[in-house]
């Protein structure tokens, strides 16, 4: 049985406004980095006689959510990138996110990436976290082995 540690996770956002590190050392919150596909790969159609047809979707779109502690300096970098990229459609949706686990060899590459929206910004008794969600046009994943 292998051993997992978020310390082995590297991640970066690369785009028209620069490179921002998102992995270990970025003051990530407990949920770290979450990759979710938006659509199912298969749609099954059942005919009137009970026979089935499977339909394979070529879609690879989804989202990546990066959770940072409120005190992370990466929040400012992401906010500046968001503000700059919203100034022109020529800059919008031109990011790439790469997430790697150097221990297992896991690799996630997301292309055609845009900020989904600004994260909720709460100021309460405890600082909490900020969830940066990115909409991704294409996500390719390869799981390694621990």
- Gap between the Cα atoms of 142 and 15, Å rounded: 22
Q: How far is CA 111 from CA 68, 83, 146, in A?
A: 21, 20, 26
CB count, 10 Å around CB of 33?
Answer: 22
49, part of any domain: no
SS3 state at 100: strand
Question: Is 47 a domain residue?
Answer: no
Query: Is 98 inside any structural domain?
Result: yes
CATH number at residue 64: 2.30.110
Report pLDDT digits (tens) over 75-131.
999 999 999 999 999 999 999 999 999 999 999 999 999 999 999 999 999 999 999
Residue 1 belongs to a domain: no
Domain count along the chain: 1
**Domain presence at residue 123:** yes
Residue 46: inside a domain: no
SS3 101: strand
pLDDT tens per residue across span 9-41 = 999 999 999 999 999 999 999 999 999 999 999
Report pLDDT for 1: 76
According to DSSP, the residues that pair with 114 across neighbouring strands are 135
pTM: 0.93
Residue 88 lies in a domain: yes
Give how far Cα 134 sits from Cα of 20, 23, 95, 102, Å.
14, 15, 10, 23
Distance (Å) of CA 23 to CA 47, 99, 114: 47, 8, 18
Per this entry, what is the length of the chain? 146
Q: Does residue 25 lie in a domain region?
A: yes
Residue 52, CA atoms < 13 Å, CB-side half-sphere: 5
For residue 99 the two structure tokens come to 């997430």
């Amino acid at each position: 049985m292998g051993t997992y540690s978020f310390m082995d996770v590297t991640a970066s956002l690369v785009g028209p406004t620069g490179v921002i590190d998102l992995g270990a050392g970025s003051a990530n919150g407990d949920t770290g980095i979450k990759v979710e596909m938006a659509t199912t790969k298969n749609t099954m159609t059942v005919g009137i006689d009970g026979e089935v047809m499977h339909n394979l979707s070529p879609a690879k779109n989804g989202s990546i959510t990066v959770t940072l502690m409120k005190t992370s300096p990466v929040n400012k970098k992401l906010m500046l990138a968001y503000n700059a990229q919203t100034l022109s459609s020529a800059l919008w949706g031109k990011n790439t996110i790469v997430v790697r686990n150097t221990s297992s060899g896991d690799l996630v590459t997301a292309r055609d990436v845009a900020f989904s929206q600004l994260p909720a910004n709460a100021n309460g008794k405890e600082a909490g976290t900020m969830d940066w969600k990115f909409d991704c046009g294409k996500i390719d994943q390869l799981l390694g082995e621990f």
